[in-house]
Amino acid sequence: MISGHYLGLFLKMLSSLNKPRRILEIGTYTGYSTICLSNGLAKNGEIHSIDINDEISDFTKKFISKSKNKEKIYLHTGDAKKIIPNLKDKFDLIFIDADKKNYCLYYDICIKKLNKNGFILIDNVLWSGKVINESKDSDLETTEIKKLNKKILNDSRVENILIPIRDGLMICKLT
């Protein structure tokens, strides 16, 4: 479930290059990627991370409380689909790493919340290589990720690049 060390370093690097003022993350889990991304925040920056699973929030808070950026990290518990439309401000960087069957919906909600020059990162877009399987009877998640990859490719609002590290990281930047 956790991004892993290498992707974590990559997330930190991308965030540091951009120095975002506001980051949004869907899928906190232990807070590992939250902490990695928070390392690149601007001085007065903040990261908002959403997870639907309230059973892990104590566990997550324990890790966040040990982070040097704890004051910049805001955790939201609930369904990202309901929480994001109610967030007032826009974001400079958005990381999508939650349930794959809602990936297209997350992309649609998130792109509306992106600041000019902002970018979206989406994890698991290779889905262990299953996305290149031409078979029509692929599982729900694979079908959805394939749909999203095509949607992004045909979306004139963004430029995109798929980085084949770990399970595939998509980077989409508003044009």
- Contact residues toward ligand SAM (CB under 6 A) are 1-3, 26-27, 29-30, 32-33, 50-53, 79-81, 97-99
Rounded Cα distance between 50 and 138, Å, is: 28
CB closer to ligand SAM out of 27 and 118: 27
Quote the least distance from Cβ 163 to ligand SAM, whole Å.
15
Long-range contacts of 55-58 (CB under 8 A, 24+ apart): 56/29, 56/30
CA proximity to 165, closest of 12, 5, 6, 15: 6
Specify the residue, 33 or 149, whose C-beta has the smaller distance to ligand SAM.
33
- Considering the complex, what minimum distance in angstroms separates the CB of residue 161 from ligand SAM? 20
Q: Which is nearer to ligand SAM, 83 or 117 (CB)?
A: 83
In whole angstroms, the minimum distance from the beta carbon of 71 to ligand SAM comes to 20
Strands 22-26 and 91-96, sheet pairing? parallel
Minimum distance between the CB of residue 144 and ligand SAM, rounded to whole angstroms? 13
- Sign for the CA dihedral angle at 102, 112, 168, 9 comes to negative
Q: How far apart are CA 154 and CA 114, in angstroms?
A: 18
Judged by beta carbon, residue 2 or residue 165, the one nearer ligand SAM is 2
